[in-house]
Structure 1
Amino acid sequence: MNIFKKKRSISMLSGSLALVTGFLATLAQAATVEISALFSPDPLNPHFNEFKNTTPSSGLCNTFPIFCRSRGLYSIRLGFEAQSQGPILANHADIRQGVMIKVPAEVRIIQVHSSTGQTADLEFSITAFSGSNRTRDVNELTGRPPGSNAYYTNNVLWNGMSWGFNAPAPCVLGAGMYPSNIDADYFWLTPQAAACGKSPAFDIDHLLLRNASVSYLMTTPDPLKMESGIYRGSITYTVGPGMDFDFGDVLLPTDSSVTLNFTLDVQHTLKFQFPAGADRLALNPAGGWQQWINHGRRPEKLVANQDFKMWSSTPFSMKLQCEHAVGVHCGVKNPAGDIVAVETRVTLPEGLQDDAKRPVNRNPLSIVPSVFAPTYYVDNGRAALHFDVAREQVKHMIEEHSGSTYSGSVTIIWDSSITP
């Protein structure tokens, strides 16, 4: 019996993305940021079935990498600024008349699409905001002598609540940041989509919000349930008074919106390795033909097994293509034209399941595709094909066609182009 194997390997698609922040000088323009993530199975960590964020880091997590890494956070610079359109008055009562920050902290669902029409959902939320407030020399603003300590003077300017070390509720201080005479850097966690603001103790004639960046949490879909390929999606946040990013009524941004473009690159592996000579198998009784030759004892069945190795991070189907079909199964045929059925079964490594989520142990194969899916990346797993001729078929062959040779080809077709 000849056995030929055919496989469809998944091509490795890759997308090269650079983080581009758009800065345009008019309010009607929009900033654009690229966010990318990659899934490629890792033989050293086969149970890690998650995307890796490949977005070039910019903004606050570049300054505080350990803080962000320990919390699974990433950051991006937004590409816009906000500047005051008039003076910020001392001790104002309305938070919107000063320097305030409100970010879209709630979770947003973004749908990504592949070129073949497959879709998946990811979750995205803003978790922190960072920026730098640039003013005239704070010693001039507060009337303190030139060269006075910048940290102390900033505390005086902001009623003892410097931006770098004090975050008003509901914001939470992320990390302490020392100011200079003209720049007050800050890093605030933003657990709610609510305004956080401060009122100065002295009038501020002009203030520029620079280096605006956010930290974000992105929950990506299960890559094992996605086809290989590039998935794209986007979300647009509005920027300005009363918008998603809101800095009050005095600070107006240079852009009216910021669009985040998402690219998920899924690079699956599907590979099979058969030993030399696996394309030809002989069906024999268990233990050989000696019981029949020496004692005339008819074999219970004829069997052949073929071991192979496999790698898989994607769902796939298996089906038969027969030289001699017997219903939905394949068969072998003798010169007289007599055909008997050969049952074909498969055993797959741990980590692969059938469509009922059961381990694959001698599952029957036919000309109708059977679908299997990984629960984690299967790396160099042991598998086997099993071929049996049943007892009644063996009886027919011996009693009706003794001495005859039966042969036939069974082609095993693997196909990864299926919808998980």
Structure 2
Amino acid sequence: MDFSFGTVRTFGKGWFFVHVLAGVFSSSALAVTQEIRASFIPDPANPQNNQFINQTPQSGYCATYVNDCKAYNLSGLRLPLRFSAIHAIEPGAPERAGATLKAPAQWRSLNVSNVVTGESHPVEIRIGALGSQYVLSDTVTDLTGASNDLEGHNRLWVGGSWGGAPGSCQHGAMATYGPDSYTFFWRTPSDSACSKAAAFSIPWMTYDYLDLGYELRTPDPLVMSAGLYTGELNYSIAPGGDFDMGDNMLPDNSSLTFRFVLDVQHVLKVALPPGGNRIELVPQGGWQAWLQEGRRPARLFRDQTFNISASSKFKMFFQCEYGGIGACALRDTETGSTFPQVYLSVSLPHGITDMAGQPVRQRPLTDDSQGTIFQPKRFLERAAGTLHFEIPAFYVEQMLQPGKARRYAGNITVIWDSEV
């Protein structure tokens, strides 16, 4: 007696994508917008890496001194923000009337939303460093009477040049200078202001641009559906604002907007071994006990392996050629009647769980298109799973009659669907 199924087909949505957009800025009269780009693409060569990759082009200090920023997990941007003194910086002046810098160093959070479905996830950013090039109204030798530029920059400020950071700030590894300019980069571990007091009168000074070192915290891409996610975070630039350079050094723009675009790319692929689309249901140990001794088998079954590559949640269900209730019927090829019920269940590889975080072992499947949802905990590449097909004893007893041969067949379509 031969029991067989037709094709077991697999369906998926192929590749999915995760990225964050950045690297291009736009400026208007009072605002600067900076986009930040990152991406998640599952890597079969490195399946344990389930992190976004920041693809924002590096610029400014961190582009030149990559290792210095990398050691503190900072990425760098140079922004077209200019600050100019509105009056002279005098020795003994209050900090806010001189040279003081304050960055939003604490973590800020925003939600990014899928542009199609509205699904949202949190992203966090902190400003971990500030830098610029100050330009003076005159050379440091003329301002201080020093014999050379290095001596002049050291004498111009109480406590020495800007190569050493004041207060809670920490200086970067490198600084450069010219006759009337000094390029600096200070790490900002806290929101506290860092101030330099002038030792000589400085008639006028500017910061020609703003270098930022920033750090990101991105969501777990494995719990995100594929697609583009966008969101914005605004910072004020003003005395008393998020970026605060004191009451003397005023900005030419009043706000900075970070625009995030997350592009999530996922994988869902299922492959059967050759011949795996034809399922023959047989008793434990074969048919010999029935044919030779008349002992009716307890059940008919087949375990069919498959390989799955997955990086995000998916659902599974099945469709029947011949209907059933939570199972599929088979057709008697001789009489045309449909009778026995085939039940399906699935065992998934380690690393894929149900939505309660439990392992998946012989989990029953249904013909409900809402399906049963499963969640990878990491990217799996060609991991082995098993489909379990079974006709229980109740139906086997009615199918097998001594001296009567029957053949039952039917198609069952098993669906792995990434659109959850």
The answer to whether the Cα contact below 8 Å between 1:228 and 1:267 also exists between their aligned partners in 2 is: yes
How far off is 1:14 after superposition?
7.5
Partners of 1:340 and 1:65 lie apart in 2 by: 68
Where do 1:371-382 residues align within 5 Å? 371-382=373-384
Partners of 1:402 and 1:325 lie apart in 2 by: 25
1:84 aligns with 85
2:412 aligns with 410
2:297 aligns with 299
CA-to-aligned-CA distance 1:352-377 (integer Å, 9 cap, x gap) = 01123122222111113111100000
Alignment counterpart, residue 204 of structure 1, candidates 192, 202, 216: 202
CA-to-aligned-CA distance 1:134-157 (integer Å, 9 cap, x gap) = 112110111234xx1x22211100
How far off is 1:215 after superposition?
0.8
Q: Root-mean-square deviation (CA), in Å?
A: 1.9
Amino acid at match of 1:6: T
Amino acid at match of 1:367: D
Partners of 2:342 and 2:99 lie apart in 1 by: 79
CA-to-aligned-CA distance 1:67-123 (integer Å, 9 cap, x gap) = 22222211111221101112111221x111001111111211111011221111011
Partners of 1:234 and 1:258 lie apart in 2 by: 10
Alignment counterpart, residue 282 of structure 1, candidates 280, 284, 289: 280
2:150 aligns with 151
Partners of 1:312 and 1:372 lie apart in 2 by: 10
How far off is 1:38 after superposition?
0.2
Report the 3-state secondary structure (helix = DSSP H, G, I; strand = E; otherwise coil) of the residue aligned with 1:113: strand
1:110 aligns with 110
**1:416 to 1:191, Cα distance in 2 relative to 1, 3 A:** same
How far off is 1:246 after superposition?
1.0
2:45 aligns with 44
2:168 aligns with 170
User: What is the percent sequence identity of the aligned residues?
Assistant: 36
**1:176 to 1:53, Cα distance in 2 relative to 1, 3 A:** same
The answer to whether the Cα contact below 8 Å between 1:22 and 1:80 also exists between their aligned partners in 2 is: no
Amino acid at match of 1:257: S
**1:226 to 1:360, Cα distance in 2 relative to 1, 3 A:** same
Report the 3-state secondary structure (helix = DSSP H, G, I; strand = E; otherwise coil) of the residue aligned with 1:407: strand
Report the 3-state secondary structure (helix = DSSP H, G, I; strand = E; otherwise coil) of the residue aligned with 1:349: coil
2:372 aligns with 370
2:101 aligns with 101
The answer to whether the Cα contact below 8 Å between 1:23 and 1:80 also exists between their aligned partners in 2 is: no
Amino acid at match of 2:359: P
Alignment counterpart, residue 250 of structure 1, candidates 225, 248, 251: 248
Where do 1:5-16 residues align within 5 Å? 5-13=9-17
The answer to whether the Cα contact below 8 Å between 1:151 and 1:178 also exists between their aligned partners in 2 is: no
2:8 aligns with 4
Amino acid at match of 1:374: P
How far off is 1:124 after superposition?
0.9
CA-to-aligned-CA distance 1:278-321 (integer Å, 9 cap, x gap) = 33221111222122112222122111222211100010000111
Partners of 1:121 and 1:160 lie apart in 2 by: 42
Amino acid at match of 1:112: V
**1:407 to 1:310, Cα distance in 2 relative to 1, 3 A:** same
Report the 3-state secondary structure (helix = DSSP H, G, I; strand = E; otherwise coil) of the residue aligned with 1:4: coil
Amino acid at match of 2:415: I
Greater alpha carbon shift after TM alignment, 176-185 vs 365-374: 176-185
**1:170 to 1:341, Cα distance in 2 relative to 1, 3 A:** same
| TM-score for both structures, normalised by structure 2 | 0.93
| TM-score for both structures, normalised by structure 1 | 0.93
Partners of 2:100 and 2:27 lie apart in 1 by: 21
Greater alpha carbon shift after TM alignment, 306-315 vs 66-75: 66-75
Partners of 2:69 and 2:231 lie apart in 1 by: 25
How far off is 1:338 after superposition?
4.1
Unaligned runs of 5+ in 1: none
Tell whether 2:347 aligns with 1:347: yes
The answer to whether the Cα contact below 8 Å between 1:175 and 1:188 also exists between their aligned partners in 2 is: no
The answer to whether the Cα contact below 8 Å between 1:32 and 1:79 also exists between their aligned partners in 2 is: no
Amino acid at match of 1:194: S
Report the 3-state secondary structure (helix = DSSP H, G, I; strand = E; otherwise coil) of the residue aligned with 2:328: strand
1:231 aligns with 229
Report the 3-state secondary structure (helix = DSSP H, G, I; strand = E; otherwise coil) of the residue aligned with 2:401: helix
**1:12 to 1:373, Cα distance in 2 relative to 1, 3 A:** closer
Alignment counterpart, residue 314 of structure 1, candidates 312, 315, 340: 312
The answer to whether the Cα contact below 8 Å between 1:270 and 1:310 also exists between their aligned partners in 2 is: yes
Amino acid at match of 1:349: P
Partners of 2:205 and 2:172 lie apart in 1 by: 23
Greater alpha carbon shift after TM alignment, 280-289 vs 264-273: 280-289
The answer to whether the Cα contact below 8 Å between 2:22 and 2:260 also exists between their aligned partners in 1 is: no
Greater alpha carbon shift after TM alignment, 205-214 vs 274-283: 274-283
Partners of 2:153 and 2:134 lie apart in 1 by: 11
Report the 3-state secondary structure (helix = DSSP H, G, I; strand = E; otherwise coil) of the residue aligned with 1:197: strand
Amino acid at match of 2:234: T
Greater alpha carbon shift after TM alignment, 3-12 vs 263-272: 3-12
1:386 aligns with 388
1:122 aligns with 123
The answer to whether the Cα contact below 8 Å between 1:128 and 1:214 also exists between their aligned partners in 2 is: yes
Number of equivalences = 410
Report the 3-state secondary structure (helix = DSSP H, G, I; strand = E; otherwise coil) of the residue aligned with 2:177: coil
Partners of 1:111 and 1:338 lie apart in 2 by: 53
Unaligned runs of 5+ in 2: none
